[in-house]
Amino acid sequence: MSTITSSFIEGMKGRRSLYALTNKSTISDDRIEEIISEVVKHTPSPFNSQTARLLVLLKEEHEKLWDIALEIATATVPAEQLEKLYKPRIAGFRAGYGTVLFYEDPAPLKPLEEKWPMLIDKFPEWSNHSSGMHQFALWTLLEAEGLGCNLQHYSPMVDARVSEQWNIPLDWSLKSQLVFGKPIGGPREKTFEPLEKRVFIHGK
Ligand SMILES: Cc1cc2nc3c(=O)[nH]c(=O)nc-3n(C[C@H](O)[C@H](O)[C@H](O)COP(=O)(O)O)c2cc1C
């Protein structure tokens, strides 16, 4: 097995959901920016449309995001759910160091949709696939640097307020939020379905 293959598999194994995070980072902000830039540059997209847009919030800006989420949840979620679920979870995210918000910009898909009208239903789906690839790559790489991450979905709840606060075009579609920080706890136990139920090889 090549060194790249082994390292990649080790990186995938090391990527887990970590929820106990602190507002410290194991790497510099410049290194975070470098990793994010490499992910955005090298992750594939349909017809190389490069639709991914990443909003990166660190420290006070990250805290602002989760203050906004709590404010909206407080105004919209039933009291019991708010106390039991939203408040402790949002407090956990806010305790981290940063959040990356993954958007997809539909604009680069317009000319492709005009050129290939028979694929018009496929482009939004493929744009989602590409976003997922970005999320997985960044999650894996940040954890390889000793950070802990978890993936959240607070869209559409926070969309309008985030667009207003950080000047994000309203037609960009918010897919997910990757919360990260120096971890103070390990991952939850994880079980695996038998691979025979999931992988089917013919002609080996
Ligand atoms: C598409 C997708 C959506 C997810 N959404 C959430 C989420 O909204 N909140 C959350 O805490 N974890 C979310 N997760 C994390 C999964 O629950 C987690 O990856 C899974 O249980 C396996 O655990 P692991 O990440 O530790 O390997 C999501 C993962 C994926 C791939």
Q: What is the pLDDT of residues 35-85, one digit of tens each?
A: 999 999 999 999 999 999 999 999 999 999 999 999 999 999 999 999 999
The answer to whether 85 touches 119, Cβ cutoff 8 Å, is no
* Distance from the alpha carbon of residue 148 to the mean position of ligand 1, in angstroms: 13
153 CB less than 6 Å from ligand 1?
Answer: yes
**Percentage of residues in the chain with pLDDT exceeding 70?**
100
Across 173-183, average pLDDT: 98
Across 1-20, average pLDDT: 96
Across 122-146, average pLDDT: 98
* Distance from the alpha carbon of residue 60 to the mean position of ligand 1, in angstroms: 25
Instruction: Count CB atoms within 10 A of the CB of residue 193.
Output: 7
168 CB less than 6 Å from ligand 1?
Answer: no
Whole-number average pLDDT of the chain: 98
Across 17-26, average pLDDT: 98
Q: Amino acid identity, residue 3?
A: T
Rounded CA gap, 113 and 126, in Å?
12
The answer to whether 122 touches 47, Cβ cutoff 8 Å, is no
Question: Domain boundaries in the chain?
Answer: 17-182
- CA-to-CA separations, 91 to 22, 95, 96, 198, 202, in angstroms, rounded: 11, 6, 9, 37, 49
Given pLDDT bands bounded at 50, 70 and 90, which one contains residue 121? very high
CATH code reported for the domain at 17-182: 3.40.109.10
pLDDT score for 157: 97
Q: Which parts of 13-160 are beta strand (E)? A: 21-22, 52-58, 98-104, 148-152
* Distance from the alpha carbon of residue 18 to the mean position of ligand 1, in angstroms: 10
pLDDT score for 104: 98
User: Does position 159 have pLDDT exceeding 90, yes or no?
Assistant: yes
Given pLDDT bands bounded at 50, 70 and 90, which one contains residue 196? very high
187 CB less than 6 Å from ligand 1?
Answer: yes
Across 106-124, average pLDDT: 96
User: Does position 1 have pLDDT exceeding 90, yes or no?
Assistant: no
Q: Amino acid identity, residue 110?
A: K
